[in-house]
Amino acid sequence: MGLSTFAFTVCFAVWTIFAIIGIKIKSELGLNDTQFGLLVGTPILTGSLVRLFLGVWTDQYGGRITFPLTMLASAASTFLLSYAHTYPLMLLAALGLGLAGGGFAVGVAYVSKWYPQEKQGSALGFFGMGNVGAAVTKFVAPWVMVAFGWEAVAQIWAGSLALMAVLFFLFAQDDPELAARKRTGIKAQSLKEQLEPLHNEQVWRFSLYYFFVFGAFVALALWLPKYLIGVYGVDVKVAGMLAATFSLSASIFRAYGGVLADRYGARRIMYATFGVSMLCLFMLSYPATDYVVHGIKGDIHFATSMSLVPFVITIFVLGFFMSLGKAAVYKHIPVYYPSHVGSVGGLVGLVGGLGGFILPIVFGAVSDLTGIWTSCFMVLFALVAIALAWMHLAIRQMEQKAAGIDTRSLPEFPEMASLHDAERHSQHAAGTKLLTEWKPEDPDFWEAVGNRIARRNLLISIPALLLAFSVWMVWSVVVAKLPLIGFDYTTDQLFWLAALPGLSGATFRIFYSFMIPIFGGRLWTTLSTASLLIPAFGIGYAVQNPETPYVIFLVLALLCGFGGGNFASSMSNIGFFFPKAQKGNALALNAGLGNLGVSVMQYVVPLVITAGVFGALGGEAQTAKDGGQLWLQNAGFIWVPFIIASTLLAWFGMNDIADAKASFAEQSVIFQRKHNWLMCWLYTGTFGSFIGFSAGLPLLAKSQFPDVNVLKYVFLGPLVGAISRAATGWLSDRWGGARVTFWVFLGMMLGVVGVIHFLDAKDFTGFLGMFIFMFFVTGVGNASTFQMIPNIMRLEVPRLMPELNAAQRTRQAEKESAAIVGFTSAIAAYGAFFIPKSFGSAIAITGTPHAALYGFLAFYASCAALTWWAYTRRGGLLHDIERGLVTAPTTTPIRSTGA
C-alpha cells in the first residue's frame, strides 16, 4: 500500500507538470488559450486512454511488472520534453509523458487485491491520496523553474519517476490473486471476459461521476494557476502555491473519503459531494461585474466580485468534497465487479481522466468565446447538476422497484446500503434513512417503531417550515425600513416588494406539491431548506448599498417565494408518516408551528437590525435619517446559521419512504370537482387573509401611523392567528365546519368595518386591535374550512363514482381530500400578493387604503353567502350532517392544518 501510494504520487506529479511549466511555454511560444488548453490536456488524454488496457494487463500480469514499465515509459518522454522547442514536438512528448496518469488504473487493480471488501473503500482512498502529487508540483516546480528554467523541471521530474520505477520493481510483491494463479496454473481471464461488464449502463454512470470528481479536479489543477494570474494578478510562484491548496484538499482527504464510504456508505458521500460542489460552483460562477443603471437622477454604479481570500477558501472546500467523491466512486467498483476491477476501474478512470483532457480545452474555448474568466466554473456547475440528477433518479427508481422485495435476495451493493440497513434493523432503527416498509396503520408496528420515526421527522420538519415562513415574509418588515436608510422608493414600489413573495410563493406551491414522490422527502426537504440561503444572503448584501437597483430587490422578493413553496412539500411529506387517527394533529403541528415563523420574524428582525450581531463579518451599519444606526442586512443574515443547521438536520435526521408516491394523473381529478373551486374561494378568505395581512400590515401601519414604532407590535397579529388555528379546531368538531366558517366571515366583515373606523379616527390602538381580531378569526377559519373538505368528498364521491365499492369510495375520498387540501393552500397563498398590492394601489390612487378595505368587505360578504348557500342552509350539502340529522361520514377530518 505505502509503496503503491508513493509511486502514484510521483506519477501524478509528472502527469500535471504542464500546470506550471506550461505557463512559461505559453509565453515563449505565444500560444492562445485554446492552444494552451490542448498542450496542458494532451498528457491527460494519453493517461486516460491507456487506463483501460493497463487495468486489464494488471489483472492478467500483475502490478509488480505493469507499474514499473508504465513509469519508465513516461519518464523517458518527460526527459525528451526538455529538448523540444516547437509546439508540435511538445505535443508529441506530452503524449508519452501522459502514460504516468495510467498508473492510477494499475494501482487500483493491484491494491484492491490485498484487502477484503469491507476495507476496500479505505484502502483505495488511501492509495488515491497520490493525487497530492499535483500539489507537490505546484509547490516545488515554480521555484525550480524560476531558478533553473522549465527544462530542468522536466529533467528532475523524469529522473525521480525512473528511480521510483526501479524501487517499485525491487520491493513490491505479486498480489495474492496472481500468486495463487501461478501456483495452480489457472489462466487469467481473456480480454473479452475482462471487458464484458462494460456494456452495463451503471458502469457509464459511475464514469460520469468520476468525470466530475476526478476529471474536473485535474482540469482545475491545471487551469487554476493561469486563472489566478489572470484574475488576481499574482505571480507564478504565488499562483502555484494558492492553486496547491485546491490540489491538497482534493487529494489528501481522499483516504478520509474512503473511510467515510466504508462507514456510512458510498451513496451518502456522493450526495454530499454533489450537493456541496453545486453550491461552491454556483458562487464561483458569478463573474466580477460592474453595474451601471441609468436612473432618473443619473447613473447608478455598483459592483459584485469575489476577492482572493474567499476564492481560495471556496476552492479548498470544493476540493475537499471532490476528494471524498473520488474515494466513494471507487468504493463501488470492487463490490459490484470484484472479478473485473481492472477493466471496470480502468474504464471509469479512463473517462475520469478524459475529463482532465477535455475540460481544459473546453475551459480555453469557452474563455475565448465568452471572454469571461468564471466560465470554467459555469461549465462545471452544469456538469455536476447533470450527475446529481442522474444519480438520484437512478437510485429512486431502484429503491421503488426494490420496495417490498426481500432484501436478503439483493446483493450487498453500496447503492442498496439503505435497503439492507432496513433489513438488518428490522425495527427501523434511527439510522435507517430509507423505509422500505411503512405500516403506520398497524398498531404493533406503530407502537414499536413507527411513532418514534414519524415524530422525529415531524420535529425536524417544523423548524424547517418555520424558517421557510420567516424568509417568505421577511420583506414585510424590511420594506418598512428601506426609506430610513436612503432608498428613495414610492409607497407603491414598497408594497410591490411586500407583495411579490406572495405571488412567487403561491406559484411555487403548485409545483412543490408534486416534488416528494419524485425526489423523496429527505432530499427535497434538504434542498428546499438550503434554497432559502439564496434570498437570505441576497437581502443581506443588497440592503447595504442604497444604490442597489430596484430590479435587484424585485428579484430577491420573488426568490423569497421559495419559503412559501416549502409548505406544500412539507405537508405532503409529513402526511405520509402518520396514521389516519393522528394525521390531522401532526399536520396541524407542522403547519401551525411553521406559521409561527411569520410572527417570529416580525419580532426578531426589528431587534437584530439595531445591533451589529455579526461584527465585521456582517458589514457596517447604515445611518438612518433620524441619526441612528441600523444593520438592516441582519434581516437576511440572521437566518443563515439556522438555515444551515436545519438543512443538515434534514439530511442526516429525516427518512424517505420507498413507496410514498402518487401520480399527477391520480390527483388531477380534483380539477373536475366544483367543490374544489368553491373551497379555494373560501380558503382564500381565511388563509389568504392571514398571510396577506401578515405581508401587508407592517407597511400599511407604518404608512398610516408614521409616528408610531409599529414594528414593535405587528408581530402580535400573526402570533394570535397561528395559535388560534391550533386551539380552536374543537369548535368545528362540535358545531360543524361550515357553520363555523359562516360566522368567521361575518366576523371578518365586522373586523374590516372596525379597521376603517379606527383609520378615520387616527387611533392606532383600535386599528391594531381590529387587525388582531381578524387574525384570530382567520385562524378559526383555517381550521373550519379544512374540516369541511373530507366530509364534502365523503358525500360527493359516492354520487360521482357510484361504480366503486365502499372501500374504494373511502380511499378515493381520502385521496381527493388530500389533493384538494394541497391545491387550495396553493391558491389561497396568492393572498400574500393581492392584499399588500391592493393596499399599495389604493394608497397610490386615492391616498388612503379605504378602497382596498371596501373590496375586502365585499369579498368576505361573498364568502359568507357562498358558505350559507352551498353548505349550511336547509338543503345545503352539510346542513343535515352538522346538525346530527344524518350519520356523519366515517373519516378522520383534517383539522387545523391551514397554512
Query: Which carries the bigger pLDDT value, residue 711 or residue 402?
Result: 711
Rounded CA-CA distance 399/341 in Å is 25
Nearest to residue 112, comparing CAs of 126, 123, 103, 104? 123
pLDDT at 672: 84
For residue 385, give the C-alpha cell.
447538476
Rounded CA-CA distance 297/317 in Å is 43
Alpha helices in 532-673 (DSSP H): 533-542, 550-559, 561-575, 580-608, 634-637, 640-653, 664-667
pLDDT at 856: 94
Rounded CA-CA distance 375/461 in Å is 37
- With cut-offs at 50, 70 and 90, classify the pLDDT of residue 755: very high
Residues 6+ apart with CB under 8 A from 58: 66, 67, 105, 106, 109, 110, 342
pLDDT at 294: 62
- Containing 292, the helix (H) or strand (E) segment is strand 289-295
CA 167 to chain centre: 48
pLDDT at position 236 over 50: yes
Rounded CA-CA distance 813/48 in Å is 59
pLDDT at 596: 80
pLDDT at position 546 over 60: yes
Tens-digit pLDDT profile for residues 795-846 = 888 888 888 888 778 767 767 776 777 778 778 888 877 888 888 889 889 9
Amino acid at 785: T
Please tell me which of 432-441, 822-831, 855-864, 878-887 the model is most confident about, judged by mean pLDDT. Answer: 855-864
For residue 591, give the C-alpha cell.
403547519
pLDDT at position 261 over 60: yes
Rounded CA-CA distance 325/270 in Å is 6
Nearest to residue 417, comparing CAs of 269, 524, 266, 209? 266
Residue 291 in 3-state DSSP? strand
pLDDT at 899: 44
For residue 632, give the C-alpha cell.
438592516
Cβ pair 664, 568 in contact under 8 A: no
Q: pTM for the full model?
A: 0.53
- With cut-offs at 50, 70 and 90, classify the pLDDT of residue 421: very low
Distances (CA, A) of 717 to 73, 446, 640, 687, 778: 77, 38, 25, 13, 10
- With cut-offs at 50, 70 and 90, classify the pLDDT of residue 399: low
pLDDT at 697: 85
The H helix count followed by the E strand count for the chain is 44, 6
Q: Average pLDDT in the 751-780 region?
A: 93
pLDDT at 343: 65
- Containing 819, the helix (H) or strand (E) segment is helix 806-828
For 224-282, the DSSP string reads HHHHHHHHH---HHHHHHHHHHHHHHTTTTHHHHHHHHHHH-HHHHHHHHHHHHHHHHH
Nearest to residue 773, comparing CAs of 742, 756, 750? 750
Rounded CA-CA distance 173/63 in Å is 9
User: Cα angle at 226 between 221 and 231, to 5 degrees?
Assistant: 120
pLDDT at position 893 over 50: no
Nearest to residue 459, comparing CAs of 649, 721, 652? 649
Task: State the DSSP code for 624.
Answer: P
Rounded CA-CA distance 703/884 in Å is 49
Q: Average pLDDT in the 186-203 region?
A: 63
Cβ pair 664, 805 in contact under 8 A: no
CA atoms within 13 A on the CB side of 453: 29
Please tell me which of 423-437, 587-601, 829-843 the model is most confident about, judged by mean pLDDT. Answer: 829-843
Q: Average pLDDT in the 125-150 region?
A: 76
Distances (CA, A) of 720 to 370, 739, 767, 776: 55, 22, 16, 6
Nearest to residue 476, comparing CAs of 709, 768, 695? 695
Amino acid at 700: L
Rounded CA-CA distance 225/238 in Å is 9
Please tell me which of 201-215, 232-246, 571-585, 754-768 the model is most confident about, judged by mean pLDDT. Answer: 754-768
User: Cα angle at 707 between 705 and 709, to 5 degrees?
Assistant: 85
Nearest to residue 814, comparing CAs of 520, 570, 575? 575
Mean pLDDT of the chain: 79
pLDDT at position 561 over 60: yes
Rounded CA-CA distance 840/491 in Å is 7
The backbone torsions φ and ψ at residue 532, rounded to the nearest 5 degrees and listed phi first, read -65, -20
Cβ pair 48, 103 in contact under 8 A: no
pLDDT at position 427 over 50: no
Rounded CA-CA distance 49/346 in Å is 9
pLDDT at 550: 82
Which range has the worst mean pLDDT, 5-19, 283-297, 304-318? 283-297
Q: Average pLDDT in the 413-440 region?
A: 53
Cβ pair 177, 339 in contact under 8 A: no
Q: Average pLDDT in the 370-396 region?
A: 85
Query: Which carries the bigger pLDDT value, residue 684 or residue 338?
Result: 684
Cβ pair 546, 486 in contact under 8 A: yes
pLDDT at 121: 63
Task: State the DSSP code for 490.
Answer: -
Strand pairing partners for 371?
none
CA 670 to chain centre: 31
- With cut-offs at 50, 70 and 90, classify the pLDDT of residue 407: very low
pLDDT at 209: 87
Q: Average pLDDT in the 487-504 region?
A: 80
Q: Average pLDDT in the 604-632 region?
A: 75
Which range has the worst mean pLDDT, 276-290, 401-415, 461-475, 561-575? 401-415
Which range has the worst mean pLDDT, 152-166, 190-204, 697-711, 810-824? 190-204
pLDDT at 425: 42
pLDDT at position 409 over 50: no
Cβ pair 465, 563 in contact under 8 A: no
Rounded CA-CA distance 211/348 in Å is 8
pLDDT at position 92 over 70: yes
pLDDT at 301: 62
pLDDT at 403: 52
- With cut-offs at 50, 70 and 90, classify the pLDDT of residue 400: low
pLDDT at 695: 77
% of the chain residues with pLDDT over 90: 11
